[in-house]
Amino acid sequence: MRDPTHGSLSILIAEDSRTQAEQLRFILENNGYEVRLALNGREALAMLAEQIPELVISDINMPEMDGYELCTQIKSDRTLAEIPVILVTALSETRDLLQGLECGADSYITKPYDEADLIKGIKQVVEGEKLLLENNSLMVPFHGESYRINNNASNILNFLITTYDLAVKKNIFLAAANVLLYDEIAERKSVEERILRNNEFLTILHKISIVASETIELDLLIPEIMKAVTVIGMLKCEPKGTIFLAGEDGLHLACGIGHSQEFKEKHRLVPYGTCLCGLSAKTGEVVISMNSETDSRHTLQSCGMDPHGHIIIPLKAKNRLVGVLSLSLALEDIQLEIDSQMSALLAALGQQVGLAIDNARLYEQTRISSLHDPLTGIANRRMMEILLNKQFSLSKRNNNPLSLLMFDIDHFKRYNDTMGHVEGDKVLVVIAQIAAEEIRETDTVFRYGGEEFLILLPGEPLSSALVIAERLRSAVERQTPVTISLGAASYVQGMEQIEEFVVKTDDALYRAKQNGRNRVES
């Protein structure tokens, strides 16, 4: 064999993995070696017959002929026996070493191999520097120094096998420790992610509770809730979403952020069980959709909308459906893993929003009840004071026309005593309905007290108020068994007190009664 320090050394690599073979060739060629590749043991033997290299590096695990058999074939052939053979191993079993010794391998390379150690190992084998037997002793290089071990060959072999066996056991222990370490790292990462989830949801829930405490009016509360929930980072929501409120006939659109008018018109009422929102309302469960175009449940499609995903969350208060929250997701951002923790967080979000909305609705109902007459359903005297004060102030500031009608039922006590209170209540309800039908949407009819009613007419001069009053008087006479007397008055410049306005109207009503009832006076 020629001196490897002169010219390039020829090496044959036997490796069934082309990727690993090319990696090894790249390292060796970069260090000045000539390299040929064989993909299995048989191919390597055929290439050896054509050209004898100065070194063979073979993987152990190969199809057709493994590294041990290839080494055995080389060492049993007189023309090839002097070629050094290095076996590549993962250092997993002591038997690997024994089989290598048995087949005549000159050295081992362990995977994964370091480039510097690989080149050093090749030089030791080729140049004869790795082992040097002198007078029944062994020269062992270690950490840059050489140690002479005087012993017989069997003891040396036993020492090497024991050392190798300890190394293998240590390697197995370290591998197991690494697995445990990786598992611990993964578990800690999972715990950290769960903590981050909890913290983000707690922040959102806290924000919703603050909004709910500061904004009790339903029409102001819902948009604020939408702003809070559409920025939940872990859900990767788009800045759009909707809240529907549950009604007897289905889900009614209460708020839509980031949606077109066409979308809002199409989703103004969603029947229960229809589309994703209706399905969530019907089942009371969170509904996830990864693609609106391919999801057959997504039956309400709108023009001009890009494909998107959805998270639909039922909103509940005391296990009662309040509505549905719909969040939109961009397709490229959908990486949701709905585990038990995420399901619990979404359910908690639905409960928090549901309670906030339910409280706002209860407040609204209470407010409406406090401002409306329970018998007739029309505004009561308290509401009259609020609206009359507002309109009177506007008229004073801008000199806008403002008229007031006051009426009561003629001889109502006699009718009540004769027909009974039940019939009397029915008449009050019917007259309130007639009055509401005879006025504009901008006008308001109030139950002032007992059988007395008052109608506020913003923007109407006295002449128009008299026309409305006469029309109302005539309608009551035609449709009920009783008649009414009406007084009309208008705001005049210089009028400073509301009481003055009301007294003026009351005086007109008094004149109507004095002049025969069932008439209008101003």
Report CA dihedral (245, 249, 250, 253) to the nearest 10 degrees.
-50
Q: Which residues pair with residue 289 across a beta bridge?
A: 310
CATH of span 381-521: 3.30.70.270
Task: Please give the pLDDT value at position 260.
Answer: 77
What is the C-alpha to C-alpha distance for residues 291 and 310, in angstroms, rounded to an integer?
Answer: 8
Dihedral sign for Cα 407, 413, 414, 418, please. positive
260: which 2 tokens? 């077109």
Residues of the chain with pLDDT under 50: 1-6, 129-136, 151, 155-156, 159, 162
What is the C-alpha to C-alpha distance for residues 428 and 88, in angstroms, rounded to an integer?
Answer: 103
The CATH T-level fold of domain 10-130 is Rossmann fold (3.40.50)
Place of tokens 């000199």: 399
Report CA dihedral (486, 491, 497, 500) to the nearest 10 degrees.
-30
**Domain extent listing, the chain:** 10-130, 133-369, 381-521
Q: What HEC string does 350-418 produce?
A: HHHHHHHHHHHHHHHHHHHHHCECCCCCCECHHHHHHHHHHHHHHHHHHCCCEEEEEEEECCHHHHHHH
Select which of 15, 54, 451, 521 is catalytic: 451
**Selection from 327, 120, 155, 357 nearest residue 232 by Cα:** 327
- Check if 10-130 and 133-369 are the same fold: no
Active site annotation includes 64: no
CATH 3.30.1360.30 fits 133-369, yes or no: no
Backbone angles phi, psi at 368, to 5 degrees: -65, -40
Task: Please give the pLDDT value at position 232.
Answer: 67
